[in-house]
Structure formats: C-alpha cells, structure tokens
Chains A and B, each alone.
Chain A
Amino acid sequence: MNRTILTLTAATSFAVAVIAEPQSFDFKDPKGVNNAVFVLDAPLEAINGTANGVSGTINYDAAEPASLSGRIVIESKSLSVPNPVMLEHLHGADWLDVKQHPQITFESTRVANVKSSGNKVTADVTGKMTLRGVTKEITTPVSFTYLKDKLAARTNGQMLGDLLVVRAQFSIKRSDFGINPAAPADKVAEEIQLTLSLAGAAPKK
C-alpha cells in the first residue's frame, strides 16, 4: 500500500515537472534593490555611478533554464553619479541624451553553455542591447538563482510566490554606442564595466 502511494506521488511530481510552464518574473522592484553599477576607469579619472530605474520581465523555467527569454529596461535618467556637474553632462546630449533616448534595454535572443548547481544556474546569454538609440548584439555570462517561495519573505507575507535573482557582469565600449566619442580616453575610459544585480518576482495566482 505504502509503495503504491509512493509510486503515485513520484509519478504526480514527475508529471507536474514535465508540464511545468515558465514563470514570468517581473523586475519592477518597489524596494529599490535592483540596480546597475557602471565604472569607467580612465588613467586620470575614475567615474563610478549607479542606476536603479529597472523594469522588465524574464520568462524562466526552473526545470529548463535554457528556454529563458526576457527583456530588461533601465531608465536612462536613473543613471546617477555623485558630482552634480558630471551628472548634468552624463544626461546631456553628448553623453546619454536621456531626453531623446529615455531607455536602455537588453533583450535576450539565445542562451548557451547552461550549467546548473542546485538552485543556481549560469549561462552565456546573448541579446540585443540598445543604448542611446544604438543596438548591438552582446553575449554575457549571467547567473540565475531561483528562490522558491521567497517572495513572502520580501513582502512581509503580503504576497506569495517565487523570486529570481539575476547577476551579470560585462563590459561595453563607449564608442560602440556613440557616447561622446570625442571625449579623451585618458579622462573618460573607453571601456564601461557594467554590473547588474536584479531580483524579479513571480507572484502566485
């Protein structure tokens, strides 16, 4: 009798796993934790800044991470540096031109080299990054941590659901996206190092 119950339970679990659909994780974070850090480390001056206007969705299936797809958006005007003059320049027409190009986007197109370890998955994600109206294809290593039933802990029990933590670190070239190509490279680095730290929520319906 016990063996029959166990077999039925295992079969049901397997069936659920097989028919599991990808969850849609929303990256609009009311807690303001989601952020991007950018660093331009030039010989004469290092520029460090952050951005927190993150939104977008990622469709992620914990049973089949390779099938993920999604789009992350960062509001251009949310990019910030501590110095007020530098901030004005950063948002200005020569640099990010936030009035004409209010969003920076990354849309995934394919996933490769997927490796799983427990609830963590690493993969090389290729996608189209649009910055200052210029779209380039880039590939970056991304780590995904699937936190089942952890949404309640983040919302003081007001919402039930899962969390997906996304971390990525990659570099882009300033000139590739037309970000003030005339700026001297000894003062403003050509390479922009980006670190994304994001958490998306998939509430249970």
Chain B
Amino acid sequence: MRRVLRVLAGLIGVLTLAVWLVTGAHTGWTQTRVTVVKLDPVTELEYPETRDQFVAGVEVLGGGLLLALALLGASFLLKPVSTTNRKETKP
C-alpha cells in the first residue's frame, strides 16, 4: 500500500507539472479562453480574437502538487508490511 501511494503521488506530481508546462506555464488563474490581438489592415484598429483553449493556472499546479504531497505523506503514516510476518504465514 505504501508503494502504491508513493507511485500515485509521483504520477500526480509529474502529470500536474507536465500539464502546467505544456499549456504554457501560466502564472495566473486557469483560463478556458485565450485572446490573441490582431490588426485590421483597413482601419488599423487592434482587436482581440478569442478562441477556446485550456490553460492551466497556478491553482491547478498548486492543487496537483499538494495532492501529490498529501499522498506521499500518507504513505509514511502506513505501517510497512513486515517480511518476517509474511514468512510466518507461509505453510
């Protein structure tokens, strides 16, 4: 069980960090829309063009890493399975 929790913690930590980095390492809140500024050639007006795109924010990064840390911490609270006990149960 300890090993399962530690592997899970590692996976969540790495996955969270990867998602945050791949979506742009955004240091603000999570965004579901991204705005790109364009220029209208006739009027020379700048205008924002918005498209739907998920950008993970600091709360996603923080939440994922905290969950990973919590699982890692919980793994230390569990008692390790004794190898001597295991031998005793064998017929």
Residues 24-44 of A contacting B (Cβ, < 8 Å): 31-35, 37
- Chain B nearest CB from A48 CB (Å) reads 8
State which of B28, B32, B44, B47 has its C-beta within 8 Å of the C-beta of A34.
B47
Residues 17-40 of B contacting A (Cβ, < 8 Å): 28-35, 40
Q: Knowing A82-B31, A82-B32, A84-B32 touch, does A163 contact B48 (C-beta < 8 A)?
A: no
Is B34 in contact with A82, judged by CB distance below 8 angstroms?
yes
Instruction: Determine the distance from Cα of A33 to Cα of B57 in the docked complex, in whole angstroms.
Output: 28
Q: Is A197 an interface residue (CB 8 A)?
A: yes
Q: Is B43 an interface residue (CB 8 A)?
A: yes
Is B42 in contact with A154, judged by CB distance below 8 angstroms?
yes
Q: Is A199 an interface residue (CB 8 A)?
A: yes
B contacts with A: majority SS: strand
- The 8 A-B pairs of least Cβ separation, nearest first, read A82-B31, A199-B43, A33-B47, A197-B45, A50-B48, A83-B29, A33-B40, A154-B42
* Residue contacts A-B, CB under 8 angstroms, 30 given: A32-B47, A32-B49, A33-B40, A33-B43, A33-B45, A34-B45, A37-B48, A50-B48, A50-B50, A52-B47, A80-B50, A82-B31, A82-B32, A82-B34, A83-B28, A83-B29, A83-B30, A83-B31, A83-B57, A84-B30, A85-B29, A86-B29, A147-B43, A150-B42, A154-B42, A154-B43, A165-B44, A197-B47, A199-B43, A199-B45
Instruction: Determine the distance from Cα of A80 to Cα of B46 in the docked complex, in whole angstroms.
Output: 17
- The count of residues in chain B whose C-beta lies closer than 8 Å to any C-beta of chain A is 20
Instruction: Determine the distance from Cα of A154 to Cα of B46 in the docked complex, in whole angstroms.
Output: 15
Residues of B within 8 A of A147 (CB): 42-43
Q: Knowing A31-B40, A50-B50 touch, does A165 contact B45 (C-beta < 8 A)?
A: yes
Interface of A with B (CB < 8 Å)?
31-35, 37, 50, 52, 80, 82-86, 145, 147, 150, 153-154, 163, 165, 167, 197-199
Give me 8 other A-B pairs in contact (C-beta within 8 A), A52-B48, A163-B42, A163-B43 excluded: A33-B40, A50-B50, A80-B33, A82-B35, A83-B30, A83-B32, A150-B43, A198-B45
Interface of B with A (CB < 8 Å)?
28-35, 40, 42-50, 55, 57
Residues of B within 8 A of A80 (CB): 33, 50
Residues of B within 8 A of A163 (CB): 42-43
Q: Knowing A31-B40, A33-B40 touch, does A197 contact B46 (C-beta < 8 A)?
A: yes
Residues of B within 8 A of A165 (CB): 43-45
Residues of B within 8 A of A199 (CB): 40, 43, 45
